[in-house]
Amino acid sequence: MTTTQQHYSPFDCLVVAEQTPAGLLQKESQEVEVLLVLEIELRASDEPLVPLNEKHHVDVAKSNLPWKDRTPQLMMQLTTHRTVFWSETASKQRQGRYLHHSQLLQLNTESAGGLFQKSPKLILQTAAMGELCLVFGAAKKRDECFSAYQKVVSRRGWETPTLNTIQTAPRRRVGLDALLTSDTRRHEHAAQLAETAFQGDAELLLKEAQGLVQIIQHYVATLERQHEFSNAQDKETQQLVGMLQHMGMTSALTPNDTQLARELTDFVRPHLTAQHPVMTLTDVYCLYNRARATHLLSPDDFRAAAEQCHSLQLGISVATLPSGLVVLQNDQYADPVHLQERLTQLLHDHALASLTALDVSRYWRISAVLAMEQLKLVERSGSWVRDETLESLRFYPNRYFCA
Amino acid sequence: MAYRRKGVGVGRFSADRQLQQKADEMKAVSLQSAIDTCEKLEIKLTEFAKTHRNDIRNDPVFRQRFLEMCAPLGVDPLSSDKSFWGSVLGMGDFYHELAVKVAEVCSASRSTNGGIMSVKEVQAILAKRKTRLGTASAAATVSASDIEVAIKKLGKLGGGFRTIKVGKSTMIVSVPNELDGDIMRVMAVGNEISHGITVDDMIVATQWSRERVERAVQLLLQEGMAWLDTHQGEDYYWFPSSWQEERAKLKEQAT
């Protein structure tokens, strides 16, 4: 509880969720995220509920504060096991609290509109907390959440792990002739299709689309000149910004996905150790996408997420070296003095007088490009010097160097 | 000379507040019109994309022409996997996985070729592996244009990935080092010959001075993009990127 908190609300009465070091939900076994709602309000009945602390006991300090029956501006994460609500402070510190789905008794919707312009809602009947109400900004989002809840509750994933048997389609044996014929037919069809589609559909589409796109681009250019895009406050401009992002027309629009930045940090931090605190962004991208296996990230999204890590104070940051190479580094060990000490230690460990980029690459198991950059970095500080020969480029500790 | 004490037209009105109101009204109308236009465009693109989704995924020719079609519209279908294109077409996974594979192939061969290899060679390696990319069918092939699109996307990660023309070949460079014109010219000469070449051969081909050729060759040796073979007292320089491309071309012709 912060010293400035003047009341407690339904959010304070939920169970505190465990977080990863990057501030993401620490998931239970077999737990999978189903839906994310960025802005939601949580309401409870008028009767005050019991606030809980991190140890799941009654929070006596909070219970002495006045009760407020609603908590606005929460982010909701629906998983197969729980509904997790996230609250973020001004200093980007997150707290998550959850309602386990085993507590759900009933789920209903409440329509929007009417004489008093009510917002669309989902009503949850729970065993421990009575009636809770989720208030959405749009009916579409409420309906999406409702159908997600129905699926999650019907599967009851928190009770027993489900085993998915992968059914493979039986392989048809076909003769070589049939294979060759079908291959030829496929190529002919594709060639024909490419021609007709782009003589028919594509030309027509281009003709119709170009006019529309010109109007959009004219408007975007006007707003950019007026610097309104980056400061977009009103709902319609935000809607237009969202639509343009959605269609890939993202000239000056930057996505703001802190969730992705945190996931990336959780993944890459174990790889950025004291011995290897730096990796090229390309290498991290390959590792991360390999780990995801499906729904891979685009390089644009990945770079945008990586660049947010520093502002979110997650302990890693993107750095651009003088050659233009972009790396991801662990802030704790990014100090050049630390690098000098590691290189000197490498010399001693392997009884070497000098190092090449290939030596560093081999012993530290990093890419040769990154190894060369690290050697050039210490050379720039003056603590190491180079010797260029036909055979290779070697780096030696500078015995005349005084720090 | 008489002057009007009051202005004419718009100047007659008490300026700022009314003008601001008018500007806000006009802005609201334009904004709504831009939103409506975006919706119309999305509907048209959705109809097209849904009709030709499988062809875009499986046919490299169709895929390339689709990307060429999007370029003048200012639309980047690969900008984000959360975009309209990612959900309707699913082609993001294809290119993103291809980018990962190309990066891995380049990284694995860097110690051999110094970080420069031909698109043909990469294409041959990927074809040999016969891996399935994204949601494309197993029969979907990867074209040279697909690889170039993937490299262009990889370039955004600041690893130095880019494509360059060396003579008649398109090469992938995977190191952030700058390659000046002299180095590119020497590599182009090496590509044309595709076996060991001496400094004298290069002087004849380029009509440069000996110092200039030797400087370019030294730089290539230092970067690992050229190899030196001394045979019977004569220095021959080999370019691994070019002979690998030749091998890939010969294999393609044989199949």
On chain A, the residues whose CB falls within 8 A of the CB of B65 are 194, 198, 202
- From A331, A355, A373, the end of a domain falls on A331
Coil, strand or helix at A203 = helix
Among A246, A282, A290, beta carbon nearest to B159: A282
Q: Report yes or no: A213 at the B interface, CB cutoff 8 Å.
A: yes
Mutation choice for A interface testing from B157, B179, B214 by most A CBs within 10 A: B157
- Give dist(CA A389, CA A228) in Å, integer: 56
The verdict on residue A183 lying in a domain is no
Both A127 and A245 in one domain: the answer is: no
**Burial zone of B208 (CB within 10 Å; 0-12 exposed, 13-18 middle, 19+ buried):** middle
ipTM of the shown complex: 0.72
Is the CB of B72 less than 8 angstroms away from the CB of A201?
A: no
For the ranges A4-13, A111-120, B7-16, B201-210, which has the lowest average pLDDT?
B7-16
Does A177 fall in a domain? no
The CATH number covering residue A368 comes to: 1.10.10.10
Per-residue pLDDT, B133:
64
User: Number of A:B CB contacts under 8 A?
Assistant: 203
Encode pLDDT of B76-105 as tens digits.
777 666 666 666 666 677 888 899 999 999
- Full DSSP string of A36-104: EEEEEEEEE-SS----B-TTSSB-HHHHTSPB-SEEEEEEEEEESSEEEEEEE-TTS-EEEEEEEGGGE
Are residues A266 and A147 located together in one domain of the fold?
Answer: no
Contact B221 A215 (CB under 8 A): no
Burial of residue A16 (number of CB atoms within 10 Å: 0-12, 13-18, 19+): middle
pLDDT tier at B23 (50, 70, 90 boundaries)? low
Residues A16, A149 within the same domain:
yes
Has residue A231 been placed in a domain?
yes
How many whole angstroms separate alpha carbon A218 and alpha carbon A30?
49
- A276 and A263 in a single domain? The answer is yes
At A217 the pLDDT is 66
pLDDT value, residue A167: 38
Residue A174 lies in a domain: no
Pick the closest to residue B202 from B186, B188, B218, B191 (CA basis).
Answer: B186
Query: Which of A198, A325, A367 comes nearest B65 by C-beta?
Result: A198
Q: Looking at the structure, do residues A71 and A15 belong to the same domain, yes or no?
A: yes
Q: Are residues A87 and A222 in the same domain?
A: no
Task: Supply the pLDDT for residue B145.
Answer: 86
Q: Which of A111, A127, A159 is the last residue of a domain?
A: A159
Other beta carbons within 10 angstroms of residue A259's beta carbon come to: 18
Q: Are B228 and B241 in contact (CB under 8 A)?
A: no
Is B82's CB within 8 Å of A216's CB?
Answer: no
Query: Which of A244, A303, A369 has its CB closest to that of B156?
Result: A303
Contact B157 A285 (CB under 8 A): yes
User: Is A164 inside any structural domain?
Assistant: no
Mutation choice for A interface testing from B156, B225, B255 by most A CBs within 10 A: B156
DSSP H helical ranges for A120-234? 139-155, 176-199, 201-225
> Are residue A125 and residue A94 in the same domain, yes or no?
yes
Contacts of B81 in chain A (CB under 8 A): 295-298, 301
Mean pLDDT in each 10-residue stretch from start to end of chain A (403 residues)?
A: 70 91 85 86 85 85 88 91 88 86 87 66 88 88 88 76 41 49 51 48 62 65 57 62 66 58 91 86 91 82 90 90 88 84 92 90 84 90 86 86 63
Q: Provide the domain count of chain A.
A: 3
Residues A28, A60 share a domain: yes
- Output B242 or B238, whichever has higher pLDDT: B238
Query: From the CB of residue B60, how many other CB atoms can be counted at a distance below 10 Å?
Result: 18
pLDDT digits (tens, 9 = 90+) for B30-72: 667 767 777 777 777 777 777 777 777 777 777 777 777 777 6
Per the CB < 8 Å rule, is A194 touching B62?
yes
This prediction has a pTM of 0.66
pLDDT at A182: 53
When CB atoms are compared, the residue of B28, B30, B48 closest to A219 is B30
The verdict on A149 and A47 lying in the same domain is yes
Closest-CA residue to B105 (of B93, B120, B94): B120
Distance, in Å, from the CA atom of A397 to the CA atom of A348, rounded to the nearest integer, reads 12
Mean pLDDT of B1-18: 56
Looking at the structure, do residues A26 and A103 belong to the same domain, yes or no? yes
- Domain interval for residue A42: 10-159
The domain spans of chain B are: 14-74, 96-254
The pLDDT assigned to A214 comes to: 66
Interface contact flag, A248 B100, Cβ < 8 Å: no
Q: How many CB atoms lie within 10 A of CB A191?
A: 13
CA distance B71 to A29: 45
Nearest CA in chain B to A303: B157
At A397 the three-state DSSP class reads strand
Determine whether the interchain pair B79/A369 forms a contact, defined as Cβ–Cβ distance below 8 Å: no
Q: What pLDDT does A335 receive?
A: 79
Q: Tell me the fold of B96-254.
A: Arc Repressor Mutant, subunit A (1.10.10)
Are A206 and B69 in contact (CB < 8 Å)? yes
Q: How far is B107 from chain A (nearest CA, A)?
A: 8
- The pLDDT of residue A76 is 92
Residues of chain A with C-beta less than 8 angstroms from the C-beta of B62: 190, 193-194, 197
Indicate yes or no: CB of B62 within 8 angstroms of CB of A250: no
Place of tokens 């780096």: A395
Provide the pLDDT confidence category of residue B167 given band limits of 50, 70 and 90: confident
Q: Is residue A321 part of a domain?
A: yes
**Residues A314, A220 share a domain:** yes
pLDDT confidence of residue A386: 92
Inter-residue contact A104 to A129 (CB < 8 Å): no
Biggest alpha carbon distance in chain B? 103
Out of B31, B42, B70, name the one closest to residue A240 (CB).
B31
pLDDT in tens, B116-142: 888 988 988 888 876 666 555 555 578
**Contact, A327 vs A372, CB < 8 A?**
no
Whether A41 and A17 map to the same domain: the answer is yes
Cβ–Cβ contact A36 with B under 8 A? no
